[in-house]
């Protein structure tokens, strides 16, 4: 049987989602807790791989068991007690065998948080960036971005992909107050480092260090070396993973 996990995590202490030889990961931490609680070796597949320091308000993964799992409130409570405080499982539920956490997903929605003020309570959870940014101009850059589908200019050079095309559903900046900005972006898929590089490049626009014409030329060049520096990981959040209605319906 196949089961989906819905979870959240604060990525500050981890070297990303994927299990690796050096450093802790979200995947390995989850697998260890599930293996201990269920009493069988568990391997999980995530909807996507977040980088080191990136957070998730909503993430999905799946695993398989030969026999049914008794999903009670006490089971979930005990599992969460085994996990560190920065990882929380919200629910586990059975799905059809052809439902896949990664390949069944049709959208991923990210937010990037910027704050001009240092906070004792938000350290590692937002990008502390002091200069005032022109969010109106940055939103004009978003309109340029939405005209394109090839984002090779914003992908890490070592990305192991067959193409660089992504279908963007929306991209915009929201000013929360004088000191806080949030970038919203949703697409069917994202390239390695894409959101952080877009944010870093748009910060250049927001400081009047880059024109909209130059921004469009960067997109058209398909050259990562022409884009801005990637913004730090600590401001990035995966906030929603979308699935087709027939998959959602199967969850009950």
Whether pLDDT at 49 is above 70: yes
Residue written as token pair 């990961």: 25
Q: According to the model, what pLDDT value does residue 93 have?
A: 92
Q: According to the model, what pLDDT value does residue 123 have?
A: 84
Q: According to the model, what pLDDT value does residue 169 have?
A: 97
Percentage above 90 pLDDT, the chain: 85
Mean local confidence (pLDDT), 56-60: 96
E runs forming strands in the chain: 2-9, 45-46, 55-64, 87-95, 107-115, 127-128, 168-177, 180-187, 236-242
More confident residue, 159 or 128: 128
CB 165 within 8 A of CB 153: no
Alpha helices in 149-211 (DSSP H): 194-206
Q: How confident is the model at residue 244 (pLDDT cuts 50, 70, 90)?
A: confident
Model pTM? 0.94
Residue range 78-136, pLDDT digits in tens? 999 999 999 999 999 999 999 999 999 999 999 999 999 998 888 889 999 999 999 99
Query: What sign has the CA pseudo-torsion 167, 221, 201, 134?
Result: negative
Enumerate the known binding-site residues for substrate: 110
Whether pLDDT at 206 is above 60: yes
Whether pLDDT at 189 is above 90: yes
Alpha helices in 39-161 (DSSP H): 73-82, 135-145
Angle at 16 between CA 18 and CA 190, to 5 degrees: 85
Q: How far is CA 203 from CA 48, 94, 145, 164, in A?
A: 26, 43, 14, 23
Mean local confidence (pLDDT), 213-241: 95
Q: According to the model, what pLDDT value does residue 74 have?
A: 95
Q: How far apart are CA 217 and CA 227, in angstroms?
A: 10
Percentage above 70 pLDDT, the chain: 97
Residue range 1-30, pLDDT digits in tens? 999 999 999 999 999 999 887 889 999 999
Domains of the chain: 2-104 (3.30.70.580), 107-240 (3.30.70.660)
- Residue positions annotated with a catalytic role: 51
Q: How far apart are CA 173 and CA 177, in angstroms?
A: 12
């Amino acid at each position: 049987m196949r089961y989906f996990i819905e979870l959240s995590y604060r990525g500050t202490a981890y070297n990303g989602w994927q299990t690796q030889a050096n450093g802790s990961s979200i995947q390995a931490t989850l697998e260890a807790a599930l293996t201990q609680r269920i009493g069988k070796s568990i391997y999980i597949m995530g909807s996507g791989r977040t980088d080191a320091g990136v957070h998730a308000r909503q993430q999905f993964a799946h695993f398989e068991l030969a026999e049914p799992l008794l999903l009670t409130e006490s089971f979930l409570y005990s599992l969460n007690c085994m996990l560190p405080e920065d990882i929380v499982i919200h629910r586990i539920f059975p799905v059809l065998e052809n439902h896949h956490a990664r390949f069944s997903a049709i959208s991923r929605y990210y937010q990037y948080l910027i704050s001009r003020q240092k906070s004792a309570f938000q350290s590692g959870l937002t990008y502390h960036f002091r200069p005032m940014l022109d969010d109106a101009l940055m939103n004009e850059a978003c309109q340029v971005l939405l005209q394109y589908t090839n984002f090779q200019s914003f992908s890490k050079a070592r990305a192991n992909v067959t193409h660089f095309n992504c279908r963007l559903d929306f991209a915009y900046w929201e000013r929360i107050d004088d000191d806080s900005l949030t970038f919203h972006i949703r697409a069917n898929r994202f390239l390695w480092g894409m959101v952080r590089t877009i944010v870093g490049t748009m910060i250049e626009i927001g400081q009047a260090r880059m024109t909209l014409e130059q921004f469009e030329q960067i997109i058209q060049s398909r050259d990562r070396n022409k884009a801005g520096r990637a913004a730090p990981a600590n401001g990035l959040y995966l906030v929603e993973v979308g699935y087709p209605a027939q998959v959602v319906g199967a969850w009950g």
